[in-house]
Each structure stands twice: as C-alpha cells, then as structure tokens.
Structure 1
C-alpha cells in the first residue's frame, strides 16, 4: 500500500479529503504572510529580488481562494439530482454569515460613523465590498440558480455562463455603476476602494464551480490531477495568443489567474498526501483565520493594528516570523473556538458523542 501516493479527489465523500483543504490552506498561508509582509516590511527589504518574485506570485492568492471556494460548493453536491435544493437553506445561511462578517470587518467605528453622518460617503465606507462579500454573494446567487435549474444540463450551463459572462460584462458593469449610490458602486466595482467587486471577481468562484462539475467525471487521483494540469496549461496557452491586459475589468486577467489556480490545484493533487495533510487544517479553518488576522494586521474600528503600531520597518526574517506566528495563533484560536462551539451544540453533524449515543440507543431498541 502506497501511503504517499496521491489520494486527492474532488468528488463528494463521507469524510473531507485533505487535498481540497490543502489547496485552500496554501492560499491561507500565502494570504496571512502577504498581508503581514505588506504591513511590516521595510522599504529596503521590499527591494530584495526574491521578495519581488513573491509579490508577483502573491497575485494568485485571492483568485485561488475564490476558485477553491466555488469548487468546494459544487463538489459537495455530489451526483444526487436534488442535492442543490436539499442544502439551499444551509447555503443561504452560510452566505448571510459571510456577508455579515465581511461588512463587520470594515466597520469604521461609531465615532467615525457619527462624524460622517448619514451620507453616501458613510454608507460607502461601512458597506465596503471585499473578498468575503464577493464569496457570500456568489454563493447565494449560485446556490439559488443551481436549486432552480435541472441538474443534468442546467448546472454546467449556468456555471459556464456565469464563469465567462461575469468577466466579459465587467467593463460594462463598471460604467453602469457610475452615478449610482456608493454601496452599489462598491458591489459593481465603480467605487474607489472596492478591491474585490462582484465584477469580475465572482468569475473566479464560478470558474472553480464549473471546473469541479466537469472534472468530477474523471477518475480521482492521477487522472484528475493530470487533467487539471492539462486544462491549466491549455488556458495559459490561450492567453498567450492575445495581448496581456491587467486592467481590473479584464477578462484576460481572470482567464490567466484561473489557469494559474488550476495548475496549483493540479500540483496539490499530484503531491504526496502528507503534504496536503499539513496544510489541510489551515484550509478547514480558512474563514476564521481570515476573520481573526485582518484586525490584528490592519486594525478594526478605532483600534490600531500592526500596520500602525509597528509599521513598515522590519527586516525580512522578523516580518516572516511575525506572519508565521500570527498564522499559528489564529489557527489555535479558531480550533479552540470550534471545540467550544461543538460542546455548546452537540447536535451538530459530526459530533461523535451524540452519534455514539444515538447508535447505542438504536441498538438497545432493536434488542
């Protein structure tokens, strides 16, 4: 038995496989280190050659996060025709949680809100559209559509239309948003400071969802990993046929980053299982690590974060050390919080104590 062979699959299983979580864990690692280095690295350290290379690679972090999020949504549905309708309520609640946490992270503080008054500027500041809001809205809209359309032909058609249509419509959506209320401009991308507007960033989410639906037909393991690499390299080749366009509304940019994301997923697929198992715990706690580390790095409301308390004056080893330490502390806090939540709600799925109790009760009844 080869314990180090690739066991990665995107198909629905009774237990979460560390492969998909490993890819998300890699994105979490790059995200926390990227934010910490951005806040703390001195100008001299930023000029080092390999830091410049890392900064270029860092551009794949957010697209990979969105890509894997979309993949996980479709992979969890499996092949059951009614799965999308059965889990719609759960998906809606998850979407609302993401939207709430996303807006909570950008709360400027009561004093700032009072100072700005009930103005469009205040609403734009409070309702800043960021990565969590993008994932939450994409999950909400995608879940509703998947529940409404037929499973056999409707799912791939809807997912492909959204994956291609959202990036292509981004420039028009930005122009349409000009002059609309600030929060709407934040969502569409027309407003200043909207870093992850729905157009075009939701395209990554639906590209991952469509890829999961198509590649779910391929046997897990090496065939699926090689297919990911083939599709990724194929997309890279297609993007080379046209001139590069790094504009924020560029469909070319989305296609190129999707290709890079698929290559990363293929590499994780083919890597030894123990590699993904190291990253998987961070992937399973990705939401809470995201929520915990941002206030520490950038502050929240009127509480200053590391960016203001320390500032960009650390060397590379010190900044990396802070980033790794922050990642581990956030993961530990998230792990403890999850354990406390499980103790408070033992009826949650996966509670071994409750399952054992119910199983014993059923056995005694049969006897």
Structure 2
C-alpha cells in the first residue's frame, strides 16, 4: 500500500476524505430536515437518509480522536507538559469552543443576552452540539495523555473509557432529568443537547484507540494485515451488536439509537469499516476526488457558514434561506436548494483553502478582522 503523506501536524489525508464526505452529508441532512414537509419526512426514503445522517456526528468525533493521536504520537512528551505545542493546541480548541457557543446565541449583543435570555434560551445556549462535544472529548483525551505513562496505557484507558461511557449512557440520561442545567447539558440528551458527552465522547475515544493501533501497525510495516483484520473485527462488532439488540434487554436500554450501548458498538463497527475503506481507497480517490479532501480540511469553515445561511443566527436572524424561501418547500425545490447551498459552500471552502496555502498572512488578517468585527458587535453594541 502506498504510504499516506502526513503533514507536519501528523494529518493523514484519508481522514480528510471522511470529513469531506460527511460534511456534505451534513448539509444534505440539514437542508432536507429544514425544508421538507412533515408528511414527506414520515416516508421510508427520508427515514433511510436520516439513518445515514445520524452517522455524521460520530464520524467527525471518531476522526477527531484519530487525528489527535496522529498529531501527538511522535511528540508525546511535548504534549504532556505545558509548552508551545500544548499552548497552541489548547488555544485552537478554545476558539472552536467559543464559535460553537456563539452559534447558539439568541441575541447578537451581550446586553440583550444578559437582560432578555429566558430559561429555554439558556438551555439552548448551554446545550452541546458537535463542536462543543468534539472539544470537550478532545480535552478528555488530552487529560489521558497527561496522566498515562506511555502509549500502551493511553490505549487501554481510551478503550475502557469508551466502553464505560457507552455502558453508563442510559444512567447518565436518566440522571439528566433532575441534574442542574449545566450538568444535564453535558451528559444527557434529556436536555437540549444534540451531542451530549454520553455516549458521543465515546466515539472520540474509540477513534483515538483505533488511530493508535493503526499508527503502530503502519510504523511496523504491517498496515495491510492490520486493515484486513480490522474488517473482520468491525463486521463482527456491528453484526453482533445488531443481533443482540433483538434479545430481551433491560428497559433502561430500550431507546436503541439514543442510549443503548449496543447502538454505540454498532456505530463504532461501521466507523471502523469506513476508516479502513477510506485508507485503502485513499491513493485512488485523492487524484480524482481531491474536492472531498479539501472539504475535509475546511470542514469547520463549511459547518460554521452553512448554519447561519440555512437557519439564521443571532447576528443574522432575519436573513437566511429559511426566512427568505419559507418552510416547507416541495421535494424538487428542496433538492435545488440543497445542491446550490452545497455548491456555494464548496466554492467558499476552495477559495479559502487556496488563500490559506498561498497567502497565509493575509488569510490570518481576514480571520482576525472577522473575529474583531463580531466581537465588537457582541460586546460593545
């Protein structure tokens, strides 16, 4: 197998392919969910695409865990203590976390946020979506890096923590009914959190464990045999979890897709198959479908931009596709909106990807100008 070329950060391109495909799946899912009528969404075709769409969050979390391991593996000691590498990493995570919460603001100024926010709006602000879940679960992995004496112990801790989170998810969700709002938002989907840490942080931990095994096999020259063995284990894990789900199980685990540990294991098996497939196909896909890798590199930009364009935000509450076009739309019109929105996001991402590569300092200037503008609007308006 052709060796994948990693960037100085340890980035492997097959992860970009996975992210790129799933960010486009996310746009499709969000557009259809927003514009289709309820009777259309009740049909089997829509429910099938919803099942695929429900893999997007776990896929990003799994890829984030693997990417963290790839970028840390050769610089283990430099990330175990405070220094330039760890400071840059935590600074980037803080920016992403702030962006995630900014997308959930109801009002575009601090004054209105403090004066007018209702309990329901506060619950939405504190809820975990995919960006917050990624950052909090990466912080958990960073803690494991800090306390684990070596990579072997890090791997073991990641596996046990992932399984523990999966097993405790039903209990965490039940506890969320009576827990304080801030805690319920972190651990339970009974609040307004779409991606609470239980079970979703488990996917990041699983990705980290898989990434460690993959890197070890790659460094030892046995990547092909490792990937073939992974296929067998992944199929067994997915099929076994699915078949066991038909047995009589405790009532607390009956919400299969939400809280069941078997649902977690099923999706981990599927994600392992996706990772293996993307790694195998990487040498053939990249020359022809580099657009997906580009979308993966710019997946954060695409995610952050498509939400305000589609739904609106605290900074553009009255200018969005939903407001301008109205809801619902016919299936044909919805498909046109989806394709045009996807094309727009890809065009912006391609321009920004090129700009970052060829005009690095100018791109940083644009970034800080945007940050400064919205910070001024929020804090001083």
Q: For 2:189 and 2:38, how far apart are their aligned partners in 1?
A: 31
Residue pair 1:221, 1:270 contacting (<8 A) in 2 also: no
Q: How many residues were matched structurally?
A: 341
- Residue 345 (structure 1) aligns with: 361
Alignment of structure 1 residues 35-114 onto 2, 5 Å: 35-43=30-38, 45-46=40-41, 50-85=45-80, 87-110=85-108, 113=113
Indicate how the Cα distance of structure 1 residues 285 and 242 shifts in structure 2: closer, same or farther if over 3 A, else same.
Answer: same
Q: For 2:167 and 2:343, how far apart are their aligned partners in 1?
A: 39
Q: For 1:320 and 1:265, how far apart are their aligned partners in 2?
A: 29
Residue pair 2:294, 2:349 contacting (<8 A) in 1 also: no
- Residue 327 (structure 1) aligns with: 342
TM-score by length of 1: 0.81
Q: Which secondary structure does the structure 2 equivalent of 1:192 belong to? A: coil
TM-score by length of 2: 0.79
- Residue 270 (structure 1) aligns with: 280
- Give the aligned CA root-mean-square deviation in angstroms: 3.0
Q: Which blocks of at least 5 consecutive residues in structure 1 are unaligned?
A: 1-5, 349-367
Matching of residue 23 in structure 1 with residue 21 in structure 2: no
Residue pair 2:165, 2:202 contacting (<8 A) in 1 also: yes
Q: For 2:37 and 2:3, how far apart are their aligned partners in 1?
A: 40
- Residue 231 (structure 1) aligns with: 233
Structure ranking higher in helix proportion: 2
Larger deviation: 124-133 or 194-203?
124-133
Q: Which blocks of at least 5 consecutive residues in structure 2 are unaligned?
A: 247-253, 365-381
Q: For 1:169 and 1:284, how far apart are their aligned partners in 2?
A: 33
- Residue 312 (structure 2) aligns with: 299
Larger deviation: 102-111 or 60-69?
102-111
Q: Which secondary structure does the structure 2 equivalent of 1:217 belong to? A: helix
Instruction: Please point out which of 300, 310, 321 is paired with 2:325.
Output: 310
Deviations 1:218-268 (A, max 9, x none): 247644442442232021132034225515222111111111111122222
Residue pair 1:8, 1:269 contacting (<8 A) in 2 also: no
Deviations 1:277-318 (A, max 9, x none): 331000000111111001111211233533343244434444
Q: For 2:44 and 2:2, how far apart are their aligned partners in 1?
A: 36
Larger deviation: 215-224 or 124-133?
215-224
Q: Which secondary structure does the structure 2 equivalent of 1:309 belong to? A: helix
